Amino acid sequence: MRAKLSVQVAILIRRLVEQGVYGPGDRLPTLASLAENFHCSRATVREALSILQGQGLVELHHGDGIYIRTAAMETWMQPLDAALLLAVEQLEQVVEVVLSVLAGAAGHLAQNRDSDTLRTLNQRLFQMECFGGKGEEAVSSELTFHLSLVEAAGNTLATNVVRVMEEAFRSCLRFANRDGALGLQTCQAVVEAISQGHSGAAREALFTYGDNIIRLLVWLRESSPERMYQGPETTRDGWQSNSADL
């Protein structure tokens, strides 16, 4: 299936950055200019920019315009590829695989817990709590928690599976992040279960989390397909809430 037009425009803008036409910190042309350049409507460009904003690649300066974020290229290109190139069904499969691996790791740690592992997981959990389960920092801190979880279990193959799917799973966590502190609550339950040696509860918390993410993905796909590409909500600062051209 051919990608929708706004996704194609988002990819084209990314390629312009990769080619050096626009660099970190540069101001993009207005919506009208971009629409003319890409032979599409301004609404399509606005949606494409929301995709890029949701992925943390561009930022809106109210009253000034749209800017490429000042970040190293290699740190912000990979998430965009994962979010745009995978179909929703594939994201659901990513969730199933990664959460199965994490559940196995959590169950193992509950049966073989030690003070060093609990200290590390509580440190990661504290970092998540600092962000309250919301925003891109919360997504990154949750991903770090999950990586620490599987690494602590000492299964190299399982760790490699999660790392291979890391950026695709990051996209899934962005969608889950729409539901507030769902990820934070799950990780809190996992740490509590591990600390008490309850392997079944630790596994169940992660399997339930996976089911909730998949249900959210299905709901987004069926109720409002275009929102699948927008990343975290942008109604306050994003273009979706702005009818005026920049």
Same domain, 72 and 90: no
Cβ neighbours of 37 (radius 10 Å): 14
213 within domain boundaries: yes
Same domain, 139 and 207: yes
Q: What is the pTM of this model?
A: 0.60
Give per-residue burial for 164-185: e unless 16+ CB within 10 Å, then b. ebbbbbbbbbbbbbbeebbbbe
Tell me the average pLDDT of the chain: 79
In sequence order, the β-bridge partners of residue 67 are 27, 59
Q: How many domains does the chain contain in total?
A: 2
Q: What is the pLDDT of residues 8-37, one digit of tens each?
A: 888 888 888 777 788 888 999 999 999 999
The domain of 168 spans 86-225
Tokens describing residue 42: 């301004």
Mean per-residue pLDDT pooled into runs of 10, the chain (246 residues): 73 81 89 93 89 77 84 45 54 89 95 92 90 76 92 91 84 70 90 96 95 83 54 38 38
Same domain, 51 and 145: no
